[in-house]
Structure 1
């Protein structure tokens, strides 16, 4: 009888575990949407943090490319859009109270030389 309960309980436990959701990340460059990329995250807030990290990293990469190969080698993206797998726009799910500090922490991690400037 205990084995039967255990067999019934195992699928229930695995079905309750958090599974990552799929999000679509699109960088905006001169009002043109670039190729979409996929982000896997447990919730909207974590997906937004990863999307913002991607944006800051892309800006840094463009800055480095322009320093090495000359101005206008590549343009840095200005913004991004994040969509759920159902096509809903995810718009800054992080509360305003924490968003600025999270943005600052991401920017300082990717671009530590600008830390002292801000």
Structure 2
């Protein structure tokens, strides 16, 4: 099993909340694309957080954390963290995703913990 956390644009969160569609995030066409600058910013932050770029393909950029059992897929519409079950892995993935929201451009979605992170 794994623990999944997603990061989307703030615009995606607003659209999802207005839609009332419980399956909104399942349709990639509903997700507001990141700008090229945002993709680069997220890529740089992942690397600064000790994620190693493993591959780049049509699906996006796949990273693996150097120490924890966490992988991350960065696409043009979302950043998807997958942590192996374990308190430390889940905590680290969740903290990284939360910290990536500090600019206000991105929002954390944690389906196992009730959805959008609210402060």
> Using CA pairs below 8 Å that are at least 6 residues apart, which structure has the higher relative contact order?
2
More strand by share: 2
More helix by share: 1
Which of 1 and 2 has greater Rg?
A: 1
